[in-house]
Amino acid sequence: MRIILRQDIYNLGKMGEIVSVKDGYARNYLIPRSFAYFATDSAVKRLEVEKKQRAKKLEHEKVIAEKLANQISDVQVSIAMKVGEEGKLYGSVTPAMIAQELSLLGHDIDRRVIIIEDAIKTLGVFDAKVKLHPEVIATIKVWVISEED
């Protein structure tokens, strides 16, 4: 039996794929749980239209993400932290801190898309990546400076 998957299913396929499974698996498990629906001619045509619309939407989102990446790639963020002996910070710089500084500069970026490779626990200049789209990643400079009392 041919079915269309409504969501990703491990060892079977991804959302929107047309797959062949045994009748009992489809009728008793996948379709009652709304994991899939029958691949009729009209459903296949509707799926093709949805795929085209989804592709256009993803391409549009990618263009917007690339524009934003070009804007923020030149941005440098300074974060003042309390420093102990030998230049070690009390705590570490978090993506939320970087997102807050970016919002002060006029760029509203969610903290969950900011990636810090290694924990920032010393003074200096570091790179942070901003994943704006699955295919678009921007890099910003983060300056960690000593907080003056």
The whole-number pLDDT of residue 126 equals 94
For residue 87, the model assigns a pLDDT of: 77
The pLDDT value recorded for residue 88 is: 86
Is the pTM of the predicted complex or chain greater than 0.85? no
Q: Which CATH architecture has domain 2-62?
A: 3-Layer(aba) Sandwich (3.40)
- Over pLDDT 90: what percentage of the chain? 76
Classified by CATH at the fold level, domain 69-146 comes out as: Ribosomal Protein L9; domain 2 (3.10.430)
Q: For the segment 3-62, what is each residue's pLDDT rounded down to a tens digit?
A: 999 999 999 999 999 999 999 999 999 999 999 999 999 999 999 999 999 999 999 999
Domain positions in the chain are 2-62, 69-146
Q: How many residues does the chain have?
A: 149
Distance CA 69, CA 137 (A): 7
Which residues contact residue 1 at a Cβ distance below 8 angstroms, ignoring those fewer than 6 apart?
Answer: 20, 21, 22, 23, 26, 27, 38
CA 54, CA 36: separation in Å to the nearest integer?
A: 18
pLDDT tens digits for range 97-147: 999 999 999 989 999 999 999 889 999 999 999 999 989 999 999 999 998
Question: Residue 13: which residues within 8 A CB-CB, separation 6 or more?
Answer: 5, 19
The DSSP bridge partners found for residue 120 are 93
